[in-house]
Amino acid sequence: MFRLRSLINKIALVIFAITALVVGLIFLIVVPQLTSSLENQRLQDLDRVATASSRAFESVISLEISSGDLNDLVRSVSDGAEAEVTLLDTNPKSANGKQSVFPLSNSRASRNFAYNQPLALRALKANDIESEISQVQGQRTAQVAVPLHVGGDKRPDWVVLYSRTLGDVRDTVSLIRDRVLIASVIALVVALAVGYAVASAMARRVKRLETAANKLAAGERVEPLPVDSDDELGQLTRSFNEMQAQLAKVERARREFIATASHELRTPIFSLGGFVELLQDEDLDPETREEFLATMSEQVARLQKLAVDLLDLSRIDAGSLELNPEDVNLGELARTIVGEFTPAVTQHHSDLELELEGDEVQAWCDRERVAQIMRILLDNAVRHTPEGTRISVSAGRENGAAELRVSDAGPGIRDSDQVFERFYTADAARGSGLGLAIAQELAERMSGHVTVDSAPGHTTFTLELPTAKNGGTA
C-alpha cells in the first residue's frame, strides 16, 4: 500500500518532484529562450547579408534600366542572399508631410506579394538600416530594410526590403523540444526508480537502528550494528554503538554499585543492630561497653562517608555542584589537611611527611573541593597500605601548573588504569570505589586532573591544577 508517511515514498517523491521541476523550468525558460536566440541569430545573419548585397543596387539607381533587367537584378540578389527581396521606390513628401513608398520589383515575380511598409518608412526616416521580426502571412519572418542613395545625396532614393521566413527555427526548436520531452520522461522514470532504491536503502538502515533501539529499550542485549558508510546515518550508527556500549558499562556499574552499596550498608547496619542488642545486656562491664561504643562509632562514620560520597556523586552527575574558584595557597592547604590526618596516621603506625617547594604554591581552584580531593587521596593511602608504610605529601610547580602529590611506599596498584572508574575497587571490603572517581570529577571541573603512577613499592597520586583563571598559568 502506498503510504505518504513512509520515508521511502517521501524521498522518492522529493527526487521525482525536483526532477519534474527542472524539466518544467527547461520547457518554460530554456525552450522559449532558445527560440528567441535562434530567431535573433537569423535576423543578424540577414542583416549582414542585406548590408553586403544591397550595394548591387546602388550602381543602377541613377541609370536608365529596363524593368526586365531590374527584375533580373532583384532575383539575382535574392538568390545570393537566400531571402525574398523587394525593391521599393520613394515618393516625395505629400502635402500632409508624410512620405510613402511603392514597389518596383519583387524576387517572387508576382504581383501578389506583401511588404512591410512601416519598416521601410522607418529606414527612410532614420536613413539607416532597420530590422525586425514580425508575422507575415501567418509566418514568423525576419525582415531588414536598407535605404539606398547616390553619392552625397542625403535623401534615400530606393529602399531594399529583405525577408526570410523562420520556419526552420520553429522546426529546429520543435525537434529539440520533442527530444527534451522524451529525455525528461526517461529522466523522471529513472529519478523515481533511483529515488525509491536510495530511499529503500536508507530506510533499511533506519529500520535497523529502530529495531536495535527497541530491543535496547526492552532490556535485550544488542550486538553492535555494522557501520557501512561515513555519511550521517553511518555516524548515527557509530554513535548508537557507542551509546549502547556506554549504557552496558553503566548497567554493569549500576549492578556493581548496588552490590557494593548493599554490602557497605548491610554490614554496618547489621553490626550496629548487633551491638545495640549487646548493649541492652545489663551485665556488660564498662570496658566492654566502651569497646562496643567505639566500634559502633566506626560503623556510623563508615555510613556517613558512604552517604556523603553518594550525595557528591549524584550532585556531580546532575550538574548542581557549585564551585567557588579563587587563588589558593596549596602549601598552606596541604599543611592543614596533613594536620587532620595526623591521628589516623599515628594509629596506622606510619610516617606522614610534608614537602613544600618554596613558600607559596598558588592555584586557581575551589579551596573546599581541593581539600576534599586531598582527603580522598590521603584516606586511600592510609587504608590501602600496610601499617608502618611511609606516606608523603608535597606541593610544587611543574610545567607551569600547580601540583599536589600524595605518595606511599605500599605494594602498588595492580590495575592503575581503572582506579578512577566508578565503583571500581581492588578490595571491596575497604571501600565502595567512589572516592577516586569523585576526585577526578572534581579536578576536571576545576580545569585540572588527577593521575597515578604506581609500581610495586611506590604509588603517587598527582593533582594538577591551573595557576591562573581560565586554566592558564601565571
**What CATH number did the domain enclosing 362 receive?**
3.30.565.10
Q: Which of 314-318, 348-352, 361-365 has the highest mean pLDDT?
A: 361-365
- Given a cut of 60, whether residue 65 has pLDDT beyond it is yes
In a domain, 221, yes or no: no
Q: Are residues 31 and 168 in the same domain?
A: yes
Residue 434 predicted with pLDDT over 80: no
| pLDDT greater than 90 at residue 463 | yes
Q: Which residue has the higher pLDDT, 71 or 468?
A: 71
439 domain-assigned: yes
Q: Cα–Cα distance between 260 and 263 in angstroms, integer?
A: 5
pLDDT tens string 285-326: 788 778 878 877 877 877 777 777 767 766 776 666 788 899
Hey, is 78 helix, strand or coil?
helix
Domain boundary among 267, 291, 317: 317
pLDDT in tens, 160-177: 999 998 888 888 888 887
- Residue 113's pLDDT is 67
- Of 265, 294, 317, which residue sits at a domain end? 317
pLDDT bracket for residue 358 (50, 70, 90): low
> Is 74:54 a contact under the CB 8 Å cutoff?
no
pLDDT at 4 over 60: no
Q: Looking at the structure, do residues 35 and 153 belong to the same domain, yes or no?
A: yes
C-alpha cell at 147: 535605404
Tell me, yes or no, whether 312 and 329 share the same domain.
Answer: no
Cell of 298: 566506626
> Average per-residue pLDDT in the chain?
80
Query: Does 19 share its domain with 135?
Result: yes
444/404 same-domain check: yes
134 within 8 A of 141, measured Cβ to Cβ: yes
Higher pLDDT: 399 or 318? It is 399
Q: Which three cell numbers stand for residue 438?
A: 569523585
**333/304 same-domain check:** no
Cα(68)–Cα(77) distance, integer angstroms: 14
How does residue 186 score in pLDDT terms, banded at 50, 70 and 90? Answer: confident
Same domain assignment for residues 312 and 327: no
Do 237 and 364 belong to one domain?
no
Domain extent, residue 154, equals 11-172
CATH number at residue 41: 3.30.450.20
CA distance 11 to 192: 9
Is residue 259 a part of any domain in this protein? yes
Q: How far is CA 6 from CA 2, 10, 198, 204, 465, in A?
A: 8, 6, 13, 12, 54
Q: To which H or E segment does residue 86 belong?
A: strand 84-91
The reported pTM is 0.45
CB atoms within 10 A of CB 53: 20
For the chain, the domain total comes to 3
C-alpha dist (Å) from residue 264 to 81, 270, 276, 383: 110, 10, 19, 16
Q: How confident is the model at residue 110 (pLDDT cuts 50, 70, 90)?
A: low
The pLDDT of 440-444, averaged and rounded, is: 89
Measure the CA–CA gap between 83 and 166, rounded to whole angstroms.
11
Q: What is the pLDDT of residue 457?
A: 86
User: Is residue 247 over pLDDT 50?
Assistant: yes
Rounded to the nearest angstrom, the gap between the alpha carbon of residue 473 and the centroid of all alpha carbons in its chain is 35
Considering 172, 189, 207, which residue would you say is the last residue of a domain?
Answer: 172
Among the ranges given (104-108, 218-222, 401-405, 462-466), the one the predictor scored with the smallest mean pLDDT? 218-222
State phi, psi for 396 to the nearest 5 degrees: -175, -165
Residue-level pLDDT at 473: 47
pLDDT tier at 97, thresholds 50, 70, 90: low
